[in-house]
Every structure is written in structure tokens, then in C-alpha cells.
Amino acid sequence: MSDLLDTIRDLAKKTDSKILMVVLDGIGGLPLELGGDTELATAVTPNLDALAREAQLGQVELVGAGITPGSGPGHLSLFGYDPLHYVVGRGALSAVGIGVKLGAGDVAVRGNFATLGGNRIVDDRRAGRPSDEKNAEIVGRLREAISDIGGTPVEIYTESEHRFVVVFRANGGPALGANLSDVDPQATGVQPMTAVAHDDASQKTADLVNTFVQRAEAALKDEPQVNGVLFRGYSDVPHFPSFDDAYQLRAACIASYPMYKGLASLVGMDVLPVEGHEDALDGKVQALKDNWSKYDFFYFHVKKTDSTGEDGDFPEKVHKIEIFDELLPQLLALNPDVIAIVGDHSTPSKLATHSWHPVPLLIRSNYGRKDAATRYTEDEALKGSLGLRRGTDVMPLLMANALKLNKYGA
């Protein structure tokens, strides 16, 4: 464990109080024009506003000043794991999230289906966000075309929409390295990149990836939209200290997307089954209600505030925020001793990608001090008494507000 987690583990105590951490993925935004309102400030959010008037607000930098966090590092930071120390690739998170077991020496990688135009130029990094059914159809075609590469077994799995997972199996041979460059340029108007190994142990993996890309494009050449693959987030088997052990909590995850379920599983949370479509959120609320008596910490994930930001759709991100605001009273009716509203990173519609901007943090408990903030927005968070915090500060603050930490020292 890191020093901070060691300290928290020594101070943590079991109580009956309950903590609810709501992560509005990518919630931070920007005004479309300088001086205008962000998505949060534009949204009509009477329930969030009322909660803010009873809470303390501040801002959170998930990794550090000016550093744009991925979803994995952002969540690790919120869970109290220093993302500069605990590093895991997106591939392992996605693989574990869909129930794939990784063995010693295996490498998992997260893939995007993409639309390639003439001269292999990336027209759309997400291939128009195909349906899950279309995703499964394409994965089936790839499985027929690529079951192994040069004797190395290759497994391909559906994740959701444009996302899929590939696992290269060591199969009892030398371990495959995961230290190689991405194929995904994370931009349009350019060609996919060639995977390049950064050490000798990863050279075979780079060769496997580049061969996979070639075969996949050949197998999908007749597809008008889903005709390319982009890879990033290579990872082998990660190991994390136990969340339950560090915080003395019975912890549960309520999420739909495999990556977030994978991350929660890796730190030792129970991943609860969720019925229904992510966009409706009804299944998540029901899962929370059904399991409220069984756990004392809940991680509740909302994805679409991020997806709409990535799509550059300002009005739709505003709409997703308003949808969450409508269901917030159902969460509050459970009477959590501590509730936090926070994001794992900012995804401004103006940029259509993750950004380095701090995210607003709200914490309500019976032990907060008077706060000047009156809404849950970026500007109001600047007024808040919590100030600017590192993401790894969030869990200790929630534990303290839940009276779950003993005094440090004599």
C-alpha cells in the first residue's frame, strides 16, 4: 500500500453509517463561448441546487495540475489510489469487467471499432457508435478471421457500442510485454498508428497487434462504417490493495459499462447486477435500493454525461445532467449519512474529449461547515469551503464525514 492508504487503514473503523459516491462521468465542462455558461450551469437542476445549499463544495484535480486523466486513473484517484503509483491499462479493466480471466503473461487491450476512409484515414474513431448487436456481429466475423497469430491464441470480446476487447494469451510460453505505443491516434483526419514496442519484452506483442490490425481491416473491408480497429490501453494482470481492507468498508459498485465494473472489481468491490439500459438509469437506482441494507459504501456511476461530451453535443450533455437531477431525490430518500457528487474527469463538449480542468466536488453530511456555494457548478465550486483538492483526498474526506476514522496520533 501507499503511505496514505497505510495510514487510512490504521485509522479506519467500522460503523453503521453509509456513504454514497456518485460519479458523474466527465461532468466538468466549458462554455461554448468565453464568458458563457458550462453544461452544468446551463442545466436546470433544482434538486442538485437544493443539495448544494446543504453541502460543502470544492474542486478536484484527479492526477495533477494540467494533466488530463483517463477514466481509469480518474477513478483510482477518487477511490484513494494514487494514479501515478497504481497504473493499469484500459484493456485489463475492460477484460475483468466482462468477466474475462487474465493469466500470467497475458496482455489485454481495449479496442475501438472505427470508420476508415480513403488511404486509411480515420473518419470516425467510434464508427458512429454502432449498436451492441452490430458490435457482436463484427466481433463474430473477427473471431472467424483471427483465432491465433503465429501460434499465439487470440480472444476477441464484445464490450459495448464501438468498444471491444482483445486478449493475447501467453499460453504457457514467455510472458507478453505490455509496454508499447497505441494504434489509436485519438484524432480524425490521420491514419492509425503503428504499434511500437518500448522494450524487448513487448516486441512480440507489438507484432501481434500490428498483424491483428491488418487482418481485421481485410476482414471488414466490405463494411461501409465499421471497417477499422484502433487499440490503446495494453495491460497485463494488475494487483491492487483491497478497498475493503484499506477502509474497513463493505463496498458495492453500481455501473453498467464493463471498464468501470472491472476497476471496481480489481480493488475488491462487489459488482452488483443492473437491469435495463444505461441511459434510463432506472436499473441502477433499483439496484441501489435493493442492496441498501447490505453495504456501507456505494459507488454509483453515470456514464452518459461523458459520452455526450465526447460527441461534442452540448445540448445533449445538458439534458443528461437534467435527467440525473430528476432521479436525485430517489437517492436522497435512502438517507445516506454522506453523499458525494463528483466526476472522474472533465469532458467539455467544446473539446469533445477529456480535459485537464478540475471537476466540481459536493459533499453533504451532518458535519459540514457553512458554505458559500449555492449550486453544483464549476463557478460555484470555486466559492466552496473544500477548496482545490487532489482526487486522493476525496475518500479520506468521506470517511471523516461518516465518522469512520479514528484520531491520528496521541
pLDDT tens digits for 359-379?
Answer: 999 999 999 988 999 999 999
Query: What is the tens place of the pLDDT at every residue in 85-101?
Result: 887 777 887 888 788 88
| H or E, element range at 61 | strand 56-61
Confidence (pLDDT) at 275: 87
Q: Bridge partners of 28? A: 346
- CA-to-CA dists, residue 318 to 3, 187, 200, 252, 327, angstroms: 40, 24, 47, 28, 15
Residue 337 forms part of a structural domain: yes
- Which of 235, 261, 279 is a domain's end point? 235
Q: Which one, of 309, 336, 341, 345, lies nearest residue 325 by Cα?
A: 341
Same domain, residue pair 30 and 152: no
Most confident of 83-92, 197-206, 271-280: 197-206
Residue 167 lies in a domain: yes
The pLDDT value recorded for residue 88 is 76
Q: Please indicate, yes or no, whether residues 115 and 250 belong to a single structural domain of this protein.
A: no
Q: Is the pLDDT of residue 312 over 60?
A: yes
Is the pLDDT confidence value at 151 over 70? yes
Q: Domain check: are 276 and 388 in the same one?
A: yes
> What pLDDT is recorded for position 171?
85
**Average pLDDT of the residues of the chain:** 93
Last residue of a domain, one of 182, 210, 235: 235
**How many Å apart are CA 286 and CA 282, to the nearest integer?**
6
- pTM for the structure as a whole: 0.78
- Judge whether 69 lies within some domain: yes
d(CA 166, CA 7) in angstroms, rounded, equals 38
Looking at 235, 264, 290, the residue that finishes a domain is 235
The H or E element containing residue 149 is strand 148-149
Same domain, 159 and 130: yes
User: Would you say how long the chain is, in residues?
Assistant: 410
Within a domain: residue 347? yes
Give 328-348 pLDDT, tens digit per residue: 999 999 999 999 999 999 999
Residues 6+ apart with CB under 8 A from 248: 9, 12, 13, 14, 404
* Shared-domain flag, residues 213 and 281: no
Q: Both 253 and 221 in a single domain?
A: no
Do 277 and 366 share a structural domain?
yes
Helix, coil or strand: residue 334: coil
406 part of a folded domain:
no
What CATH number is given to the structural domain containing 78? 3.40.720.10
Q: Residue 231 belongs to a domain with what CATH number?
A: 3.30.70
Residues 146 and 39 in one domain: no
| Higher local confidence (pLDDT), 92 or 139 | 139
Q: For residue 407, tell me if it sits in a domain.
A: no
Whether residues 25 and 10 fall in one domain: yes
Average pLDDT over residues 107-127: 94
Q: 394 by DSSP, 3-state: which?
A: helix
**173 plus 307 within the same structural domain:** no
- Per-residue pLDDT of 231-259, as tens digits, reads 988 988 777 889 999 999 999 999 988 88
Q: For 285-302, what is the mean pLDDT?
A: 97
Residue 1's pLDDT band (boundaries 50, 70, 90)?
very low
Tell me the Cα Rg of the chain: 21
Residue 16 falls inside a structural domain: yes
CA proximity to 55, closest of 332, 391, 406, 348: 332
Residue at 208 is within a domain: yes
Domain count of the chain? 2
pLDDT reported for residue 2: 55
Q: What is the pLDDT of residue 164?
A: 94
- Between CA 408 and CA 410 the distance in angstroms is 7
Most confident range, picked from 36-50, 78-92, 161-175: 36-50
Among 305, 219, 211, 220, residue whose Cα is nearest residue 257: 305
Are 34 and 133 in a shared domain?
Answer: no
Residue-level pLDDT at 278: 61
If asked whether residues 251 and 396 sit together in one domain, one would say yes
CA 101 distance to own-chain centroid = 20
Q: For 312, what's the count of Cα atoms within 13 Å in the CB-facing half-sphere?
A: 3
Examine the pLDDT at 181 and tell me if it is beyond 90.
yes
DSSP bridge partners of 124: 115
Q: Is the model's pLDDT at 292 over the cut of 80?
A: yes
* CA 181 vs CA 123, 155, 198, 232: distances in Å: 21, 20, 7, 8
Domain containing 198: what range?
A: 93-235
